[in-house]
Amino acid sequence: MKTRSLLLAATILTTFLTAASCGPAQEPTPTTPNPTSLDGAVLFAAYCAECHGANAEGTDRGSRITPDSPAILNRTEEQLISLVQFHRAALGLSPQQAAALASFLRDHQAMRFLAFAAAPKIMINYFR
């Protein structure tokens, strides 16, 4: 009799736990890039996209840029900021702008937002 009661209790508990775990699936919490990286995305669209491409895919005038590229990975934060500040295009960025652009170049999530940063420019050109 005790075995039967324990078996029934185990079955009920298993059924309850299974039902509880079958609730609605939770959406993964989206991560957003930090605000500095988003500022860098806007700067990229304004200053870099002409040579490096709207999505940093590279062109005949500028190389492809990804957070995993050696030019990004093999530099310290200070070196990357210096590279941005003293880029051959002589962009004339302030130290804060150079830091924001460097942060953007390192931020995988912000790179995904690049198309949105370029969107206003695309829309303006579309309606001309």
Sketch the domain layout of the chain as residue ranges. 35-126
The pLDDT, as a whole number, for residue 127 is 45
Q: What pLDDT digit, counting tens, does each position of 40-55 carry? A: 888 888 888 899 998 8
Of 128, 122, 126, the residue nearest 46 (C-alpha): 122
The pTM is what?
0.58
Q: Where are the alpha helices (DSSP H) in the chain?
A: 2-21, 35-43, 49-52, 70-73, 77-85, 95-106, 108-112, 114-126
Write down the pLDDT at residue 105: 86
pLDDT band at 125, cuts 50/70/90? very low
Rg (CA), the chain: 25
Choices 3.40.50.620, 3.40.190.120, 3.30.365.10, 1.10.760.10: CATH for 35-126: 1.10.760.10
Contact 101, 84 (CB under 8 A): yes
Cβ neighbours, 10 Å, residue 67:
15
Half-sphere exposure at residue 38, Cβ-oriented, CA atoms within 13 angstroms: 6
User: Any idea which of 25-34, 61-70, 91-100 has the lowest mean pLDDT?
Assistant: 25-34
